[in-house]
Structure 1
Amino acid sequence: MTKGDILYEKKIYIRKPTKEYSKQVFRLIKECENLDLNSEYLYLLQNTHFKESCSIAVCENRVVGFVSGYKLPNEPEILFIWQVAINEEFRGIGLANKLISNTLKRKLNSGITRIHTTVSPDNKSSIKMFTKLAKNLDTKIIAKKFFKKEDFINSHEEEVLYEIGPIKQKELK
């Protein structure tokens, strides 16, 4: 029996986040060492103001996955994926892609034709996950230089912008 088989025996619910899950989302992000931890207030805002462009995965009343995003204000056809956090126990079963797909399928997001995200060059697992997402969506992924190391005050790596699209909303599974 594989890890995926065992996990699928557990019920994982994917849905919009709510304020009540904000503390758990904060803790999940904190557990993911490769992610920048933002303020608790930001996660409250994401789970309320930006809930249409975010998704959570809940298993046995515990948040095990979170995707945060927002539509670009001047380009609402682009969904910017800010953070993807998956509990270590639930990695490797395609949960991140399911969370993003759940977000894309919402009525308020029906006009989205592209996804943008930024990833540091050494974050191979995120690059692999977004490449797989593009394949699952039957579209292309393009990498472009975005933020240089010098753009940051602290010691932060450069961030490469990945564009996934065009997304055919009618074909979303």
Structure 2
Amino acid sequence: MNEILFSKPLKENAKDIYNLIKRGGVLDLNSEYLYLLQCTHFSKTCSVATFENEIIGFVSGYLLPNKNDTLFIWQVAVDERFRGQNIAFKTIMNIFNSNKDIKYILSTVSPSNKPSQRVFEKLANHFNTKIENETAFSLEDFLNSHEEEIQYLIGPINNK
């Protein structure tokens, strides 16, 4: 029986991650170089979901430089064929379970991105903690057309 596996990304996953984001057409597509950095320098705070050796999910994150107990989730991508199976949630949990010092999860989400909003609400419920929202970046903060970004702060999380 084939199952979905969750792990840290490897350097050789960067091209597939880039293509996953590109195919999805929703997230901002970053440079291939950035995905290489995420798979090498930031692999401890990123995670991939694979099915039959294919990358079907990716979560990128990093610890805030001035708050190393706060995980910032940057991008969450799931192949459209696998949506609705809690892959985003499980991929984030893979990061969380490997980093026991995390007390807060922080992210920004566009108002139209209902699936990501549901994932962060599910995380707050799972950890039985609060979620706070505020505008992180308004329309005026962007050069080109981009929705505002609402900050989601989940925590404190009891990670014991």
TM normalised by structure 2 equals: 0.97
CA drift of 1:10 comes to 2.7
Supply the AA of the counterpart residue of 1:135.
N
| Cα separation, 1, equivalents of 2:45 and 2:79 | 20
| Cα separation, 2, equivalents of 1:138 and 1:92 | 22
Q: 1:130-153: CA deviations, max 9, x gaps?
A: 111211122111111110111011
Matching residue within 122, 125, 138 for 1:132: 122
| Cα separation, 2, equivalents of 1:89 and 1:133 | 22
CA RMSD in angstroms, aligned pairs only: 0.9
Supply the AA of the counterpart residue of 1:61.
N
Which residue in the other structure is 2:58 paired with?
A: 66
Aligned pair 1:168/2:158, yes or no?
yes
**What is the DSSP-based 3-state SS (H/G/I as helix, E as strand, rest coil) of the residue aligned with 2:12?**
helix
Structure 2, unpaired ranges of 5+:
none
Which residue in the other structure is 1:10 paired with?
A: 2
| Cα separation, 2, equivalents of 1:94 and 1:133 | 11
| Paired residue total | 160
Q: How does 1:62-141 map to 2 (within 5 A)?
A: 62-106=54-98, 109-141=99-131
Aligned pair 1:143/2:133, yes or no?
yes
Q: 1:76-101: CA deviations, max 9, x gaps?
A: 11000000000111111111111111
Aligned pair 1:45/2:37, yes or no?
yes
Q: 1:98-127: CA deviations, max 9, x gaps?
A: 111110111xx2211000000011111111
Aligned pair 1:35/2:8, yes or no?
no
| Cα separation, 2, equivalents of 1:89 and 1:139 | 31
**What is the DSSP-based 3-state SS (H/G/I as helix, E as strand, rest coil) of the residue aligned with 1:129?**
helix
Which residue in the other structure is 2:146 paired with?
A: 156
| Cα separation, 2, equivalents of 1:89 and 1:157 | 26
List structure 1 segments (4+ residues) > 2 angstroms apart after TM superposition.
Answer: none
| Cα separation, 2, equivalents of 1:42 and 1:135 | 32
Supply the AA of the counterpart residue of 1:129.
V
| Cα separation, 2, equivalents of 1:38 and 1:158 | 18
TM normalised by structure 1 equals: 0.90
